[in-house]
Structure 1
């Protein structure tokens, strides 16, 4: 899908506030309601807008402990990687899992209540994932930038 300047404005506004009414959004991007609504629907159908959700404060919900876990695999064959990827997405405390080039093979962003809870997640879930050779963890001291809007220039 080709995205023009008005579409980029719509996307920027919705990244800031996904709960905007179509009326308010149309006013902000200086369109009438119907064309604005059509553009939003087209952006949704194209996949440019992947969905809408509430942004939650993990610390306020008792999940103030975060770690980055680097995973080195025993093998890089398709079956091993598929088994690992299928298993890791089933662990609710793994917020992000990214496959990397080189060593290590994966980076996981893991959230927990505290260090003791993280240890249980580590021992009971992460260390038992298929194909894992080595896990290396580092604790997050402070998050400086998170859940930032995509640059739409």
Structure 2
């Protein structure tokens, strides 16, 4: 699906404010409400807008620890990667997992109640024998930036 500048403005607006009204969205992107709404629906149907959700402020709910983990597998057959990825997909505390090239196989983002809870997760992972050879733990001490919004300029937007 080819996106034009108006589509990119719609995407930029809704990723920054998922509760924007149809009228305000139309105003922001410079369209009348009906064509704007039709474009938004087209972007949803095409799967470009993957979901709608609220971004929580977790520190206002309870204290927690964010841990980044480098993981290297012992073996590198397709079955080894699949076994590891299936196991990770089932672990609620692992909120992101990226397969990467280079000296490690995966980066994980883990959110746990505290460091002890994180260590229990690691112990569980090692006990499950999902192929981990080495792992390195990095405790996040301060979030400097965690916007999550895609830079529309990357895609040719303003």
SS at match of 2:68: strand
Q: CA deviation at 1:63?
A: 4.6
Is 1:114 paired with 2:117? no
* Equivalent residues, number: 153
TM-score by length of 2: 0.90
* Inter-partner Cα distance in structure 2 for 1:60 and 1:92: 20
| Equivalent position of 1:65 in the other structure | 65
* Inter-partner Cα distance in structure 2 for 1:28 and 1:85: 41
Asked if 2 retains the 8 angstrom alpha-carbon contact of 1:88 and 1:129, the reply is no
Q: CA deviation at 1:34?
A: 1.0
Q: CA deviation at 1:127?
A: 5.7
TM-score by length of 1: 0.93
Q: Which runs of 5+ in 2 are unaligned?
A: 154-158
| Equivalent position of 1:139 in the other structure | 139
What is the aligned-residue RMSD (CA, Å)? Answer: 1.4
| Equivalent position of 2:49 in the other structure | 49
| Equivalent position of 2:156 in the other structure | none
* Inter-partner Cα distance in structure 2 for 1:129 and 1:16: 41
SS at match of 1:27: helix
Q: Which runs of 5+ in 1 are unaligned?
A: none
* Inter-partner Cα distance in structure 2 for 1:91 and 1:144: 26
- Go from structure 1 to structure 2 and tell me whether the alpha carbon gap of 1:18 and 1:127 turns closer, same or farther (over 3 Å shift): farther
